[in-house]
Amino acid sequence: MKYNNAVQINSPGRRAAAYWFADGLPEMLFGLFFLVPSVLILAFEELHWQNWWVSSVIAAMGLLGYLMWFLHRRVLNFFKARITYPRTGYAQPPHDFPDKSHPDYKILTLATANPADENVSSFTSRTIPYICGGVFFMQLFMQLNETRWGLPLAMTGLAATIYFVNRDEARPYSWRAVLPLALAGFIAAAFDLELMSRTFMPMAICGAWLLGIGIWTLVRYLRANPKPDAGQEGRP
């Protein structure tokens, strides 16, 4: 595995876990998971399309998205085999933390220890669920409280949560990286949005943020690691 990371990690397992996010593909995939359904709902709301088939399309997109949740490893490996591994090599994908198959699972649940190889990630077991939970409670809050300033406050809280819970993880986010989440909430609050639009705006913002982070990471990765020529593939 050849991967130059700005943050030097001594543990081979930690390096392998960080390598899983080096190309931005996990964030792009889950960004689309949030962004596509929310954009469809917002577009249908703005066009006042509320026919039964519109609801069917939204339900189908939601079902496809949650199916992707269970198949995301296979989807990511498919793209990594064509984009990432030919450039910088293969590494064992990280286990979700805590790893229930690990003999110290009960201890790991209390976050007092890590598996010996430390090739673990809490991205799909903590970061994404926090975003899902934050979006759900923000949607509920928007329905109970019609003030438009609830959105920037809630997005600021979510940005702070993502920053603090990932500080020591394989995929940390700097305060500059999460700042657009809070700013997007203030920008959206400046518009006179309908209740339905305000309700699903957090989902759209989180999806756009994850997708943007992923695209930025992928572009930097591709620039730093051009694909070898066909004649050079296989050389040491």
**pLDDT, tens only, 67-122:** 777 788 889 999 999 999 999 999 888 887 655 454 444 444 444 444 546 788 88
pLDDT given for residue 49 in this prediction: 58
pTM equals 0.79
Residue 209's nearest CA partner among 135, 107, 100 is 135
Its sign, for the CA torsion 120, 170, 8, 81, is positive
Q: Which residue has the tokens 């669920």?
A: 129
pLDDT given for residue 8 in this prediction: 47
With a pLDDT cut of 90, the percent of the chain lying above it is 28
pLDDT (tens digit, 9 = 90+) per residue, 13-66? 888 889 999 999 999 999 988 888 888 877 776 666 556 555 666 667 667 767
Cα–Cα distance measured from residue 24 to residue 223, given in angstroms and rounded to the nearest whole number = 13
Q: What is the mean pLDDT of the chain?
A: 77
